[in-house]
Amino acid sequence: GSGDEKELRAPICCILGHVDAGKTKLLDCIRRTKVQQGEAGGITQQIGTTYLPVENIRERTSLKAEVTVKVPGLLVIDTPGHESFSKMRSRGSSLCDIAVVVVDITRGLEKQTIESLDLLKRHNVRFIVALNKVDRLYGWKPCHNAPIAKALKNQSVDVQMEYRWRLTEVVTQFKENGFNTALYYENKKMKHVFNIVPTSAKSCEGIPDLLLLLVRWVPEIMIEKLVYDDTVECTVLEVNEVKDLGATIDVVLINGVLHQGDQVIVCTEQGPVTTVIKDLLTPHPMKELKAKGIYKHHKELRAAQGVKIVARGLQHAMAGTSLVVVKAGDDLQQCEAVAMQE
């Protein structure tokens, strides 16, 4: 670098799609976790955030040392696909930089896929399509973790034919909903045509392709948006009662730094609540914030991150509202008014 290159923050990526398209399992594949198996009824019921450090992504994609990645990592937000959780999908899509819309190749576009596309259009968010469950194509030969082009080459003519017609079907469905899409490695107009990455969350084909698009291509198309900014931008995802800690809030820190001891304001139905950050917790990298377990403690945390905040008086904080930091010299009443407006 030239030294005066601006520091970038991790892109925030929201995973959206119809129930059971494979959103959580795709993340499990990336993280090497088993969150999906542990979910009640196999259904995601909360937003989950996971930080993927760039070193893990390099390892997952076998990136050569000389290939540069400009972002420090990826902050991924998993959302529920069940129809009753549309608020969480809306919240996720309103704060992300990029989305991954997961579509089951054997089912095509479904009700909540289309709802998700509407949300993304409304919030003006670009997306990548993960055309998932390619291993369900009859006769698929698994090629664990392989780039998708390599995995496809290994398949019989019959599998390749079924793959082509199902892909064409999905492209047509997107077209009917007003979106131009193409296989990413055949896409000559990436600025206007949305990329499709075929994936399997079972045998992990296509995962390297998806990760590379997220950390290499996304910064190319939205570098300005990803320039780190000191002004705190922070959204409350939910309130969580944690044993020994009391009511905590899970937030997405989009920009800026949070410190232990910061005076902050959260919104409740009864008005603003001003409190002081006692502790800042994150799960270990590649683990989900909502996963109960051992947290890492931080004196300060820099965006973008998923953070659990420990402080008094958080029990009535409202999901979807902003957390405001009171700086030295700020007028508290004015800050409280700002917090309630947002």
Stretch near Na ion under the rule CB under 5 A, chosen from 17-25, 52-60, 214-222, 224-232: 17-25
> Coil, strand, or helix at residue 305?
strand
Cβ 27 to ligand GTP, closest distance in Å? 8
Cβ proximity of 167 and 129 under 8 Å: no
Report what 200 binds from Na ion, Mg ion, ligand GTP, none; CB cut-off 5-8 Å by kind. Answer: ligand GTP
Cis bond upstream, residue 317 (ω within 30):
no
Cα angle value 257/258/261 (rounded, 5°): 140
What x/- string results for residues 44 through 63 when contact with Mg ion is judged by CB under 5 A?
A: x-------------------
| Residue 287: contacted member of ligand GTP, Mg ion, Na ion, none (CB under 5 to 8 Å, by partner type) | none
For the chain, the farthest-separated pair of C-alpha atoms sits apart, in whole angstroms, at 70
Q: Tell whether the torsion through CA atoms of 144, 290, 119 and 110 is positive or negative.
A: positive
- Residue that is written with structure tokens 């995601």 in the block: 44
Give the residues lining the site for ligand GTP (CB under 6 A). Answer: 17, 19-25, 36, 42-44, 80-82, 102, 132-133, 135-136, 200-202
Spatial distance between the Cα atoms of 315 and 267, rounded to a whole number of angstroms: 11
Q: Does 20 bind Na ion (CB under 5 A)?
A: yes
Which two structure tokens, joined as six digits, stand for 98? Answer: 């990029």
Rg (CA), the chain: 20
By CB under 5 A, is residue 116 in contact with Mg ion? no
Distance CA 222, CA 280 (A): 29
Q: Which does 17 bind (CB under 5 to 8 A by kind): ligand GTP, Mg ion, Na ion, none?
A: ligand GTP
Minimum CB distance to Na ion, residue 192 (Å): 32
Which among 43-51, 89-97, 173-181, 186-194 is the span making contact with Na ion, rule CB under 5 A?
43-51
Interatomic CA distance for residues 29 and 113, integer angstroms = 21
Q: How far is the CB of 42 from Mg ion (least distance, A)?
A: 8
Q: How far is the CB of 22 from Na ion (least distance, A)?
A: 8
Which CB atom, from 44 or from 93, has the smaller least distance to ligand GTP?
A: 44
Q: Output the six-digit token pair for 289.
A: 């914030």
CB of residue 10 vs ligand GTP: minimum separation in angstroms? Answer: 22
Report which residue type is found at 6. Answer: K
Q: Is the dihedral of CA 317, 78, 324, 308 positive or negative?
A: positive
**Least distance in angstroms from the C-beta of 132 to Na ion:** 12
Least Cβ distance, residue 157 to ligand GTP (angstroms): 22
For ligand GTP, give the closer residue by CB, 20 or 250.
20
Q: Which does 21 bind (CB under 5 to 8 A by kind): Mg ion, ligand GTP, Na ion, none?
A: ligand GTP
Element (H, E) at 122: helix 111-122
User: Quick check: 301 and 282 in contact, CB under 8 A?
Assistant: yes
Taking alpha carbons only, the member of 132, 127, 119 closest to residue 89 is: 119
CB of 28 to ligand GTP, least distance (A): 7
**Element at 279 (helix H, strand E):** strand 279-282
Least gap, CB of 169 to ligand GTP (angstroms): 18
Query: Does residue 35 contact residue 22 with C-beta atoms inside 8 Å?
Result: no
Gap between the Cα atoms of 30 and 211, Å rounded? 9
Residue 23 within binding range of Mg ion, rule CB under 5 A: yes
Element (DSSP H or E) covering residue 249: strand 246-255
Q: Is 38 in the site for Na ion (CB under 5 A)?
A: no
Q: Which region among 12-20, 129-137, 231-239, 325-333 touches Na ion (by CB under 5 A)?
A: 12-20
Could you tell me which stretch among 39-47, 149-157, 196-204, 307-315 binds Mg ion (CB under 5 A)? 39-47
Minimum CB distance to Mg ion smaller for 23 or for 287: 23
Q: Which residues of the chain form contacts with Mg ion (CB under 5 A)?
A: 23-24, 44
Instruction: Kindly list the residues in this chain that would bind Na ion in the complex (CB under 5 A).
Output: 20, 42-43
